[in-house]
Structure 1
Amino acid sequence: MLCATTPAFAFAQETAPADDAAATAADTIDYGNDIIVTASKRSQTLQDTPIAVSVTSAADLQNAQIRDLIDLQSAVPSLRVSQLQSSANTNFIIRGFGNGANNPGIEPSVGVFIDGVYRSRSAAQIGDLPNVERIEVLRGPQSTLFGKNASAGVISIVTQKPQYVFGGSVEASYGNYDAIVLKGNITGPISDTIAFSLGANFNRRDGYAKDVNLDTDVNDRNRWGVRGQLLIEPSDALSIRLIGDYDKIDENCCIAGNVLAGPTVPITNFLAGGTSVDANNPFSYRVYNNFLSSNLIKNYGGSGQIDYDLGNMALTSISAYREVRADTNQDSDFTSADLIGRKSDDTAINTFTQELRLTSDFDGPINFLVGGYYFNEKIKQHSQINFGDDFRPYGNALIQAASGGALNVPTLEAALGAPSGSFFRAGDGMDEHYRMKNTAWSIFGTLDFEISDRLTLTLGGNYTKDKKRFSADVDSNDVFSGIDLDAAAYAPFRNQLLLGGALQQAGVNPNDPAAVLAFATNPATAPFFQQFVTFANDNQNNPAANPLNGLKAFQFLPPFLDVPNSVEPGKTNDGDFSYSARLAYKMTDTVNVYATYATGFKASSVNLSRDSRPLAADLPAIIAGGLGTPNLVSGTRFAAPEESTVYEAGLKGQWSVAALNLAVFKQSIKGFQSNVFTGTGFALANAGKQSTWGVEFDGSVRPVRGLNLTLAVTYLDPKYDSFVASAFGDLSGRKPAGIPDLSVSMGGTYTHEFAGGTKAIMHVDYQYESPTQIVDGLLGLPDTVAQNLKREVNQLNASFTVALTNGFELGVWGRNLTNAQYLTTVFNAVAQSGSVSGYPSQPRTYGVTGRFKF
């Protein structure tokens, strides 16, 4: 089978020598010799880098039409990227480990770096890829080389430096859904010691889904960016690289289809006056909302890298400052009934980073790398959630159903002493303000000792100190959620309901005074009536027997206990020493083997959401101190750190016509930070331990000149060693959801050169993921429901390009040509018990691209 743009091996001819003699020479050299990677913070060939790393070159990205990091997973089977509810929320997962979306207080376990600068949130990562030289995906914990949160792996994007030879390219694509993509870059000298580059991109596409209620397309693309660089080299020893960039996204994303229609759908249909969801049909790409979701994201910043050659040592400094502004609003009930009138999150993130490292290049057996890293970040978020016009009648229907028709909203308002019309009032909800300041520093280094000409021992260490200060100021004016249904003041009402329930079970209508009187005075039934009265009197203040318990599930937005307070300081303070040991042995000139033991660390994550609640250990002191609010329960303010460990052995082989990578590993994370949607909010919790045993293979072969075939396979066997306190109960011993046993990327590229130099380039790649359960569970639904919801990926991509000798290229391309359909994730529908929503995969896209390189 033809194999994909797999990342593990890029070939010499991908760098397109300018003349035929160079091209002939390129065909004779060993594969991968010219692919230089910096995965180990040193420039090494891919063959000599004893790390499980995949490299995707600029040519790979171009042939496969990989436009952003979401598309990259089709080329790297160990990587999974999931687009969630907005353009600002994306999860990156390597070897089954990853998190970081849906909450600004949670940093990802997979670190993303662009030109050595850490991008701390997905909103700063997912714009269109700039003028890329290569993308390195490092698998496993990388804390000894990277200064911030890399407990599961690293995605390192390296862009092209400015050149001293004038050149550039322009590119235009047009595709289905009226997609238009424009890209351009120019580079050249300003003087003998200064070079520049300027690049810009524009990406616009109509939505591939239809909002039937609003009569408009949704899930569109509308993003653009600019990027400028200066390379200043006043001497052979000194190099200064300055980068500035600005990206903007203004899109309507992301649709959620109805996977399972629960008992609330008839209610929302009635309130909408027709169809409120396309029931049980997530792949119709037809949705019903009552307002358009919006995503306005601005991501900008600058960095400066200074490299100074000290002879047998090199000093590198990377300074960066970045800002992210993400303003989103979504019709989160995903129905045309006006249940949620607003669900907005306006987030501001300011980040400063500084890295300094010294690297040796001695002739002797010992070399070292030592560095320091500083991180300072400030986050502000203002969130709002408000009831829509239909939520009051919707809440009334829920209460009637839960009470068997005995109660309704007006009755409750009168009985509980609330003003008429105050329950579930349109516009009521929560106004939320969160802040967090994170400062961290680390000292890291590696020591290489050449035991012999072929055997090298590498030791690495990283000490990290991470401090966070956070605050939450949240106001809820949802009247019903602020009532303590167990309060003594409501004992007479509970007494009445208990007595009425007992009478109803005895066949007496409690709303018929004559029938009740007859039952109470009839000598045959009077003793039973007295028993009913006694039962009601004895249990009117018993929380376990409260007849209003069934209504507590509808207290969606209870009062919030602000933090910090006299019990909770709103601080975390983490410190950790991570370390690694690696033996690398060069068996022959073409075969290397290595064995690694490494640990990783990710600091505490903070729950910056309305689901932030005191830890169970703090709740008694809070109640004793008089800080308790109505309906306050325990939860999490933050999740404790993650600590990862990996045992890994690998083999790298490289010959004149073939190359391969093989890695076998056992990786685990203690305290994995799980963030699960429950239908009304997110549950942030630490898993006790999650581990994965796996095998990774990627290889390439060129059976004839011009044909490159590649294959990458990942097999994973994950399990929760311990996860007692998950949102779905004790998951210990079970397989984590969302991790396929088998992931495969395969494909091929054939380049035919005609007389005169014109080339035809044909490329095809195929991505496969074996069936896997999508989520660990769904609250309120039997386990079998979640177990039956599976995802299987079968995606075919292809392109055909003609490249003329004058630099002009014209090609056609298609992604997901088989129109494979699968759900990226599923979740409990918002405030709609029994219904399940899910995000469908993107449908088939295709188009034509023209490119001119000069």
Structure 2
Amino acid sequence: MAALLASTGLLSAESAAAQTAADESVNEIEEVFVTARRRSESLQEVPIAVSSLGGDVVREQNRNSVPDLITLIPAITLRPQNSSKDTVLLIRGLGTITTSPGAEPSVSMVLDGVVLARPGQMVSELVDLERIEVLRGPQGTLFGKNASAGVINIITANPTPNFGAFVEASYYGGDEHRLTLGVNGEIIPGLLSGRISGVTSGFKGNVRNIFLNETLSDRESDGLRGKLLYTPSENLSILLGADYLYAENRGNSGMFLETSTVAYPTGVRTQSATLPTILQSVGITPGFKNRQVAQNTLPQFKDAFGGALAQIDYKMGEYDLTAISGYRFWRSTQGGDLDGFATLTTSTPVQQIDLGHVNSKQYTQEIRLASPRGGLIDYQIGAYYFRAVNREDYSRETTQLIAGNRVRNFGLNNFGTIQNNYSVFGEANINFSESFRAIAGLRLVKDKLSYYSDRVSTSTVAVPGILPAFAGKDSTSVTDYASRFGFQYDVSDDIHAYATYSRGYKGPAFNVFFNFSARETNVLKPETSDAFELGVKSSLLDRRLQLNVAIFNDQVANYQANQPDLVAGTVVTRLINAGEVSTKGIEIEAIANVTNNLTVSADYGYVKAKIDDFLCPVAAPVSCDIDGKPLPYAPKHKISVQARYEAYDSPRYRVNLTGNYTYQSSQQNSITQTPDTVSPGYGIVNGVISVMDKESGWEGRLLVRNLFDKFYRATLAQGNGGLVGGLPRDYKRYFGVTVRKDF
């Protein structure tokens, strides 16, 4: 940072003198308010482990989606995949890895008060974000229906009466571009305000298909969001909102890093007899830094996300009544080359092409009543209804080389699910005194789930990746609950301690997917957890330092997980009740105003997420015995450090320097515990220099990602006889520039 200042010549005598004067009276850290308990509270006083990131972080650091943001929050990890349907978020090591529409995620995504039904809806671009809150641990008493591991609460900006508009354009290395614009203001004075914003963005990609001479991992997206706020009286407000986003990308099935695989638990390495020759023939050299593939089919992934909401807030004296009606849809197309090879030869005797479509719709209605605060008991009570209708079709075409002849087979499965959830909920504070209170919350749940599946196949026996024709349908109904109990004690105005017990609940499931067969017709039991958490939130040194610590222990029963299987030599997965798992650890968050010009924050998470008792399914291999092993995508250590320095400030100009460092220790990427699928740990340094003209409303930013050019792989997997790995956007250093104009 000092070198940057010296090189730009910004540390003038004037700013140095101003810094000396400012050091004598360092400002308090600005108070942050969150809605972690469905109404506005100070982050430092809410008895939940919660992180909050503002929309300014998204804009400044080019983190424009939830997957981009998670590196700044140690509690969250990501399972990145080609398609949005396959991407999964995990909190404290817990998350359901499946593409079945008959299973719900463990991490609940909430957008402006509306719970999203499918994991694939989590990865769309963020438009006009106000802030994002990450609540760790079970949150089912107040949030939706699927919050057994935590909640990602996304809040977009609401209209205000004051007129404002902006346009922002960015360009980054790798031919990445982004344009956003928006306008806000009063439409009918004193009665109606509106806000509309839009985005268009794209990235050229960073993986090369040398067989088709095409670039992969590229993306394009366009989105629009609008809101109207109607305030006919002081006691009544009506918020209407709608949004739509369309995205396309061409992912890749992984680059070959090794031409061998390592078995668990023996550790025996098996060299592929054919893979080295195959790769050599197409000009690919396998290795950890390989960025090339050779496939005869381009992958295509297209997503359309959107929806509408209506929120009514009415003050009945000292009571607040809120009703939220929501509709969301998600349409997705995913297609690609499953076999990973370019040609059909005796060494690569199978070609497989997949194509799938998702059509998902959901409807939600929530109504809740919040009591006034300050009495013996303050509370929130409510009722919730959720309905999701998922329809999918998925096809697979295989071409086999048998005795010199090309043999084609085809399979198509039309399948779907209908989910209905009814619940009543409430949470209360029992205020024994001004400084000591009990917390009690309960959600009673009724889940109804049904599915249908109808697969046709040209073969009456299993061929690579395709089972014979099969049809089935079934339904289930479960009544259960989620709860939270605990105590909170205010040691002083600046130190707050809490201890809570939460019972997490995630509904029953069916493993409905392309190769659905008789052995998948069983219903999976609900996943439940017993979570204990101790926390202290403190503001020290005249509120110039915030230090928060949370210790947690979460025991999960009937864990829903994917177990690999083989279908005629091709790997598929089977969703099962895997048994019991646990996660425990500690999270430390600190933020300090070192001087009036310098703010430093540091977050650390230690998570030990492991499999306690794995229930091997029928016909599973001996290697299924993985008791005591780590859960996948759960690194033990994650660190995020950020420093923001106001290098220069005058009545007209302001110059800020921001740097952040993120570190993640090694992680296992497969529940099979194969030794070669462990990703090495890595640390990344990023930085931003911003210059603002306060009079004209212009701002310019220069960004660098992966400053020290650290090459890393986020995930590794075994496939097609070798080891393959994905490639993150910031696998190498790149720069970018942003220009913004506020009106």
Same topology, TM > 0.5: yes
Q: Which residue of 1 aligns with 2:530?
A: 645
Q: Aligned AA for 1:446?
A: E
Q: Which residue of 1 aligns with 2:101?
A: 104
Q: Secondary structure at the match of 1:105?
A: coil
Deviations 1:296-336 (A, max 9, x none): 11111100111101121100011011111101101112221
- 1:87 and 1:724 map into 2 onto residues whose CA distance is 29
**C-alpha displacement of 1:667:** 1.0
Is 1:467–1:573's contact at 8 Å kept on the other side of the alignment? yes
**C-alpha displacement of 1:653:** 0.6
Deviations 1:104-132 (A, max 9, x none): 33321000011111112233221211111
**C-alpha displacement of 1:848:** 0.4
Is 2:590–2:601's contact at 8 Å kept on the other side of the alignment? yes
Q: Aligned AA for 2:739?
A: G
Is 1:349–1:379's contact at 8 Å kept on the other side of the alignment? yes
Is 2:79–2:87's contact at 8 Å kept on the other side of the alignment? yes
**C-alpha displacement of 1:146:** 1.2
Q: Which moved more, 1:61-70 or 1:173-182?
A: 61-70
Gap change, CA 1:819 and 1:671, over 3 Å in 2: farther
Q: Residue 66 in 1 paired to residue 63 in 2?
A: yes
Q: Which has the higher helix share?
A: 1
Equivalent residue pairs, number: 695
Gap change, CA 1:228 and 1:677, over 3 Å in 2: farther
**C-alpha displacement of 1:341:** 4.3
- 1:677 and 1:137 map into 2 onto residues whose CA distance is 31
Q: Aligned AA for 1:562?
A: A
Deviations 1:324-363 (A, max 9, x none): 1101101112221354342011010010011110000144
Q: Residue 361 in 1 paired to residue 372 in 2?
A: yes
Q: Aligned AA for 1:201?
A: V
Q: Which residue of 2 aligns with 1:813?
A: 703
Q: Which residue of 2 aligns with 1:776?
A: 671
Q: Aligned AA for 1:332?
A: L
Q: Aligned AA for 2:459?
A: D
Q: Which residue of 2 aligns with 1:850?
A: 739
Gaps of 5+ in 1: 3-19, 397-408, 411-420, 482-553, 565-569, 615-633
Q: Which residue of 1 aligns with 2:215?
A: 217
Is 1:775–1:825's contact at 8 Å kept on the other side of the alignment? no
Is 1:269–1:337's contact at 8 Å kept on the other side of the alignment? no
Q: Residue 462 in 1 paired to residue 443 in 2?
A: yes
Q: Which residue of 2 aligns with 1:305?
A: 311
Is 1:260–1:279's contact at 8 Å kept on the other side of the alignment? no
* Identical columns (%): 27
Q: Residue 609 in 1 paired to residue 503 in 2?
A: no
Q: Which residue of 1 aligns with 2:138?
A: 141
Q: Which residue of 2 aligns with 1:558?
A: 467
- 1:173 and 1:555 map into 2 onto residues whose CA distance is 46
**C-alpha displacement of 1:32:** 4.1
Q: Which residue of 1 aligns with 2:686?
A: 797
Q: Which residue of 2 aligns with 1:376?
A: 387
Is 2:440–2:484's contact at 8 Å kept on the other side of the alignment? yes
Q: Which residue of 2 aligns with 1:571?
A: 475
Is 1:739–1:772's contact at 8 Å kept on the other side of the alignment? yes
- 1:649 and 1:32 map into 2 onto residues whose CA distance is 25
- 2:603 and 2:715 map into 1 onto residues whose CA distance is 24
- 1:600 and 1:162 map into 2 onto residues whose CA distance is 35
Q: Aligned AA for 1:563?
A: G
Q: Secondary structure at the match of 1:247?
A: strand
Q: Secondary structure at the match of 2:534?
A: strand
The TM-score, its normalising length taken from structure 2, stands at 0.89
- 2:704 and 2:415 map into 1 onto residues whose CA distance is 43
Q: Secondary structure at the match of 1:762?
A: strand
- 1:254 and 1:273 map into 2 onto residues whose CA distance is 19
Q: Which residue of 1 aligns with 2:602?
A: 711
Q: Secondary structure at the match of 2:470?
A: coil
Is 1:123–1:297's contact at 8 Å kept on the other side of the alignment? no
Q: Which residue of 2 aligns with 1:836?
A: 723
Q: Aligned AA for 2:683?
A: N
Q: Aligned AA for 1:461?
A: L
Q: Secondary structure at the match of 1:274?
A: helix
Q: Aligned AA for 1:225?
A: G
Is 1:74–1:766's contact at 8 Å kept on the other side of the alignment? no
Is 1:294–1:329's contact at 8 Å kept on the other side of the alignment? yes
Q: Which residue of 1 aligns with 2:413?
A: 432
Which of 729, 738, 743 lines up with 2:633 in the alignment? 738
Q: Which residue of 1 aligns with 2:7?
A: none
Q: Which residue of 2 aligns with 1:693?
A: 584
Deviations 1:178-204 (A, max 9, x none): 111000111000112100001000111
Q: Which residue of 2 aligns with 1:250?
A: 248
**C-alpha displacement of 1:636:** 5.5
Which of 256, 275, 282 lines up with 2:282 in the alignment? 275
Which of 329, 334, 343 lines up with 1:337 in the alignment? 343
Aligned pairs for 1:309-708 (under 5 A) are 309-337=315-343, 339-388=350-399, 392-393=400-401, 396=402, 409=403, 425-426=407-408, 428-478=409-459, 481=462, 556-564=465-473, 570-614=474-518, 634-635=519-520, 637-655=522-540, 656-678=543-565, 679-708=570-599
Gap change, CA 1:812 and 1:248, over 3 Å in 2: same
- 1:264 and 1:430 map into 2 onto residues whose CA distance is 32
**C-alpha displacement of 1:677:** 4.4
Deviations 1:215-267 (A, max 9, x none): 01110020110011000111010111111011001211234111332489665
Q: Which has the higher strand share?
A: 2
Q: Which residue of 2 aligns with 1:519?
A: none
Gap change, CA 1:711 and 1:138, over 3 Å in 2: same
The TM-score, its normalising length taken from structure 1, stands at 0.78
- 2:295 and 2:522 map into 1 onto residues whose CA distance is 33
**C-alpha displacement of 1:153:** 0.3
Q: Aligned AA for 2:539?
A: Q
- 2:171 and 2:320 map into 1 onto residues whose CA distance is 46
Deviations 1:496-525 (A, max 9, x none): xxxxxxxxxxxxxxxxxxxxxxxxxxxxxx
Is 2:29–2:592's contact at 8 Å kept on the other side of the alignment? no
Is 1:611–1:683's contact at 8 Å kept on the other side of the alignment? no
CA RMSD in angstroms comes to 2.3
Q: Which residue of 2 aligns with 1:180?
A: 177
Q: Which moved more, 1:227-236 or 1:279-288?
A: 279-288
Q: Which residue of 1 aligns with 2:5?
A: none
Q: Secondary structure at the match of 2:393?
A: strand
Q: Residue 232 in 1 paired to residue 141 in 2?
A: no
- 2:685 and 2:71 map into 1 onto residues whose CA distance is 9
Q: Which residue of 2 aligns with 1:170?
A: 167
- 2:564 and 2:248 map into 1 onto residues whose CA distance is 25
Gap change, CA 1:137 and 1:296, over 3 Å in 2: same
- 1:638 and 1:28 map into 2 onto residues whose CA distance is 59
Is 2:669–2:717's contact at 8 Å kept on the other side of the alignment? no
Is 1:205–1:220's contact at 8 Å kept on the other side of the alignment? yes
Q: Which residue of 1 aligns with 2:612?
A: 721
Q: Which residue of 2 aligns with 1:54?
A: 51
- 2:278 and 2:683 map into 1 onto residues whose CA distance is 39
Is 2:668–2:679's contact at 8 Å kept on the other side of the alignment? yes
- 1:743 and 1:233 map into 2 onto residues whose CA distance is 45
Q: Aligned AA for 1:689?
A: E
Q: Secondary structure at the match of 2:99?
A: coil
